[in-house]
Structure 1
Amino acid sequence: MHKQRIAIDMDEVVADSLGRFLAFYERDFGIKVDRVSLRGRHLFEAVPEAHREVVRAYPREAGFFHDLDVIDGSQAVVRELSERYEIFFATAAMEYPNSFQPKYEWLHAHFSFVHWRNFIYCGDKSAVCADFLIDDHARNFIGFRGKGLLFSAPHNLLDTAHTRLQNWREVREFFSA
């Protein structure tokens, strides 16, 4: 029997890259930004204009993608889903070439039950062949042939056009229904 496929984005879906942005920003400017204050905005949109280019450059720093925290509940739910679905990780790594190796190592360390052949590095997720795409950026649903599922993150909280999953408990519930 053919299993349906679920493609899962990495950053802000299973890996807390926003936490890294916030930590780097506090390191560089001595200002602590609360996630709640980012409702509907990316960090670079919420900081003073003079800081924006520095923030936008963070993913280009060599250590940015190393040792990111795991989004709560993601490992257990992805493991459960892998028993009934074919799981792929689809991460847009083309913009930051220094992210390939750290992302591979991170996925292997935290989701070792998903085979490395199911790690997809792409620039345009419309090329991903899956029944579902769990992503924090609705723009990645454009051209995607399956069903896009918007994983909640501060920057997308004002988006009401897509099926939203607030957390990994809701992901579990969606795929159990």
Structure 2
Amino acid sequence: MQRLIVDMDGVLADVYSQFRKYEKEESGINQEPHAIIGKKEGEAYKNVRIYVNTPGFFLEAPVIPGSIEVMEQLNREYELFIVSSAMEFPLSLYEKYQWLQQHFPFLSWQQLVLCGSKKVVSGDIMLDDHFKNLDHFNGKTILFTQPHNQLADPGRHERVNNWKEVAELLLPQW
């Protein structure tokens, strides 16, 4: 059985919706999604570091559409692990765990890896929205499109734009 590594933020959890929500609440600015294409999170939103260190930021993030259904099937077909950086933002550790338990209850605690660096992770396939995590990975890499990577050439990484495309790529019977 192949080992599949799936990122949380920007792949399962819609952190961009959270950034927009927090920015609107804080400053009244309501950026349209197209206005931030090609910008890193810290460039697109002024107070990203404050937002991600605010209680509730990760816990209240919306689920990216289609992810639950596809993840349930992937869990049957792969040795599946959620690997998410959580040490940089200490509040996120518990909130990410709670969020995953709430939205993906079919995953066991043994499938959740909340870490500092993903460089120590190994597997056959990695699905992530950041090049910094994919570039060092030795297996097959899949780039999940988010505004910060939308204009970038995916290079050796295969790009998917949504969970339907993830299913078509990783679940041939889909």
Q: How far did 1:24 drift? A: 0.5
One-letter code aligned to 1:84: E
Establish whether residue 164 from structure 1 lines up as the match of residue 162 from structure 2: no
> Is the Cα contact below 8 Å between 1:91 and 1:121 reproduced in 2?
yes
Residue in structure 2 matched with residue 176 of structure 1 by the alignment = 171
Match runs of 1:1-177 below 5 Å: 3-46=1-44, 52=46, 54-160=47-153, 161=155, 162-177=157-172
Give the 4+ runs in structure 1 shifted more than 6 A: none
- Distance, in Å, in 2 between the alignment partners of 1:55 and 1:95 is 13
Residue aligned with 2:77, SS = coil
Aligned CA-pair RMSD: 1.3
- Distance, in Å, in 1 between the alignment partners of 2:87 and 2:121 is 15
Aligned CA distance change for structure 1 residues 144 and 72 (closer, same or farther; 3 Å):
same
> Structure 1 unaligned runs (5+)?
none
Deviates more, 1:70-79 or 1:33-42: 33-42
> Is the Cα contact below 8 Å between 1:15 and 1:71 reproduced in 2?
yes
Q: TM-score, normalised by structure 2?
A: 0.93
> Is the Cα contact below 8 Å between 2:85 and 2:116 reproduced in 1?
yes
Q: How far did 1:43 drift? A: 4.1
> Is the Cα contact below 8 Å between 1:126 and 1:141 reproduced in 2?
no
The count of aligned residue pairs is 170
- Distance, in Å, in 2 between the alignment partners of 1:143 and 1:25 is 33
- Distance, in Å, in 2 between the alignment partners of 1:46 and 1:14 is 20
Q: How far did 1:135 drift? A: 0.4
One-letter code aligned to 2:54: E
Q: Cα deviations across residues 8-30 of structure 1 (Å, max 9, x unaligned)? A: 10001000111111100001111
Q: How far did 1:143 drift? A: 2.2
Deviates more, 1:82-91 or 1:122-131: 122-131
- Distance, in Å, in 1 between the alignment partners of 2:110 and 2:44 is 37
- Distance, in Å, in 1 between the alignment partners of 2:64 and 2:145 is 11
Q: TM-score, normalised by structure 1?
A: 0.91
- Distance, in Å, in 2 between the alignment partners of 1:119 and 1:135 is 15
